[in-house]
Amino acid sequence: MAKNSSTSTTVPDTAWLGRGRHLGPEPEQDVRRNLIALKAAGVLDDFLDLDPVEAARSTVLHPRDESADPGPTARRLFEARWRVGDGDITVRAQLVTYDPDGRRKEGAGVTWVLAAEAEDVWDAYWPSPATMFWPDSDRVPWDHDTAADVRLREANHLPKDDDDLRHLLRDCARQSWYVHLLVHEAMTPDALGQRPLTGHLPPSLRHRVIEHRATPEQAQIADFAVKRELDVRLPRGGAVVLPTSPPDAAYTAEDFTVSTVFLDGSIPTELLERIGAFAALPQPMPADAETALNRLRRGWHLLTPDEELVHAQRMAVMYAEALDAMTTSRDRYQEAAEAAHAALAEATGGTVLPRPAAPDAPASPLGALTKAFGRFRGAGK
């Protein structure tokens, strides 16, 4: 696992984090099918499909670490491992599905949290961790943001109601884990222009950005809303990458605003550069995201053969140290008991007192193995 240190305020540059809702009937089955297909194709090195309760009990690296527990509402835990770059950088990722919040309306879907970490600084051109678990198909509705009713792979038009519009922008800035882009349509675009601009982004960045669209007649209200809520402006026929709330100190509205965006199917190079620059800024670490990253680091199960060997060697050393400590404790007890016996005999004028028996040594792996081997020999006779 990557050893880069991270603060509790920003996402480390080795990590990729995502959270969303799946509105389909069989979310876990969609994940299984995708993982099986990608492993068969050689894209994944390996994967695991685990029950959350059993996963928490059988955590390999830190068996007593409560931070590895996904919680009581977890439905399923998946792990996957793959290589990127020239094949010498390993990525490890965990996806956990959760029962929907009871306070949400019926049909809210299943919530999922995904944390991935590489052994080097994350590259936007690496494969998206989202599509390692979820099929990148429009027929599988896994990409709904939990902060608002918007999707990653669509151009989401703003609500018609002014209050709903402001609440949407506020929730996205304060609660969402994603980068949010607001584009104004100078005129109603054709079919090519209706496609999301985020489709031109590199793979790993594509599923970190949500695109909002303001219709031609929403120019003033959208501009007023972002000015009031986020202190930025939306140019007519242009776009702005929305800040987080509170904004990063390095964020200035001018640096992340594009005055003109052509919605004709052409590649908006300037806008894509601004999105990439924003994504490169230190991103705030939500509390839930920090929990997911800690669980990935400390609750990992999918070991490579080399890691399994190292783990077995570490466990053998641990058992040997425990056995040595128990043996030493037994010997010290025996010595203390004999000294006390001698002192009592001297105090009573040489009367011989019953010698206290040494306590039985606690069971050890070596003793259990010896006993089992003895039974085997007896049966053979």
Are 93 and 172 contained in the same domain?
Answer: yes
Give CA separation, 145 vs 111, 116, 335, in Å: 9, 18, 67
Task: Name the pLDDT band for 313 (thresholds 50, 70, 90).
Answer: low
pLDDT at 96: 97
Instruction: Give SS3 for 243.
Output: coil
Average pLDDT over residues 43-57: 89
Q: Kindly state the percentage of the chain with pLDDT values over 70.
A: 80
pLDDT at 308: 59
Are 271 and 354 contained in the same domain?
Answer: no
Task: Name the pLDDT band for 63 (thresholds 50, 70, 90).
Answer: low
Domain containing 275 equals 15-298
Are 101 and 221 contained in the same domain?
Answer: yes
Are 212 and 337 contained in the same domain?
Answer: no
In the block, which residue shows the tokens 């990608």?
A: 38
DSSP strand pairing (110-118 vs 15-22): antiparallel
Q: Where is pLDDT greater, at 196 or 63?
A: 196
Are 263 and 209 contained in the same domain?
Answer: yes
Are 139 and 105 contained in the same domain?
Answer: yes
pLDDT at 293: 96
Listing DSSP states for 192-217 in one string gives TTTS-GGGGS-HHHHTTEEEEEE-GG
Instruction: Decide if pLDDT at 161 tops 90.
Output: yes
Average pLDDT over residues 158-166: 94
- Tens digits of per-residue pLDDT, 82-113? 999 988 999 999 999 999 764 445 567 999 99
pLDDT at 148: 87
Instruction: Decide if pLDDT at 264 tops 90.
Output: yes
Q: Is residue 288 part of a domain?
A: yes
Are 234 and 349 contained in the same domain?
Answer: no
- Tens digits of per-residue pLDDT, 173-195? 999 999 999 999 999 999 999 99
Are 128 and 76 contained in the same domain?
Answer: yes
Show the CA angle centred on residue 227, arms to residues 224 and 229, nearest 5°: 105
How many structural domains does the chain have?
Answer: 2
* Residue 74 β-bridge partners: 98
